[in-house]
Amino acid sequence: MNAPDAVRALGALAQEHRLAAFRLLVQAGAGGLPAGAIAERLGIAASSLSFHLAALTHAGLVAPHRQGRQVIYAVNYPAMNALMGYLTENCCGGVPCAAPLPPCPSVEEDRSMTRRIYNVLFLCTGNSARSIIGEVLMRHYGAGRFRAWSAGSHPKGEPHPMAIATLAGLGYDTAGLRSKSWNEFTGPDAPQFDFIFTVCDNAAGEACPVWLGHPMTAHWGIADPAAVEGEGQREAFVEAVRLLRRRIELLVELPLSSLDDLATRRKLAEIGQIEGATRIEAPQP
């Protein structure tokens, strides 16, 4: 790194919010974070954050990349290492004064080492509305990191027409969707799931099959939009999409590779209790 590049990088960091955003991205690792998650964690308005991220990108310290419809921001490790090397060059007159820091991998190297595809199954009783919506949204927002399926304990046989119409109307891909039994996913050739989410209270209370691989489970129950009849049904489905989308966005934003099992389970449970959560009633004695 030469002096002009170092001045530009240091100038980009010489602002409280930009420094905080850069430090947060360093903590997040090469997987990075979407702008919305950065703004939420730092309490910065999205419009202001956009300006600060642009400054960090122009200085070469941050490398944005597109993931589905989101732009993910990640630290440019080679640039960070070059800046650190420039600042410490000939440190202490060439006499070793401290143990050197281990080199950070490049963004592409670290992304290739840590990138893992997670398998997710959404469950409800009929597999016609909420679990279908979860499958579609996870495939959309988790593209490249998550694969999604859905199933039911007593499948209706076909997705609810309003679920298909609402998802398609909002621009989501609904090709190939079908209502199916969870028994399809219990054989030796079935995907090995990392996460299983029940999205209706009835499914959460049923005895599920024994899943291979001991996946993490959580209840993300929301109200059944198919229970609404008449003119309000479409609005109910739009609301179900909104509530499940927010849960899925929070899951996608989690730094799963850096969380232990206990922390991940806690996060999944917390996501299930956000706005719109239904409560499973205790059985009557």
CATH number of 3-114: 1.10.10.10
Which DSSP category does 181 fall into?
A: B
Check: CB of residue 154 under 8 Å from CB of residue 123: no
Alpha-carbon Rg for the chain in angstroms: 23
Residues of the chain with pLDDT under 70: 30, 90-115, 203-213, 280-285
pLDDT value of position 127: 95
Q: Could you state, in order of their start, the residue ranges of all structural domains in the chain? A: 3-114, 118-272
What topology is assigned to 118-272 in CATH? Rossmann fold (3.40.50)
Cα 234 to Cα 205: distance, rounded to the nearest angstrom: 27
Nearest to 161 by CA among 222, 237, 223: 237
Q: Which two tokens stand for residue 193?
A: 């799931």
Cβ atoms within 10 Å of 283's Cβ, excluding its own: 6
pLDDT value of position 37: 84
Q: Which long-range contacts (CB under 8 A, 24 or more apart) does 138-142 make?
A: 138/248, 139/173, 140/68, 140/69, 140/172, 140/173, 141/68, 141/69, 141/70, 141/245, 141/248, 141/249, 141/252, 142/68, 142/118, 142/248, 142/251, 142/252
pLDDT value of position 283: 41
Cα 84 to Cα 100: distance, rounded to the nearest angstrom: 11
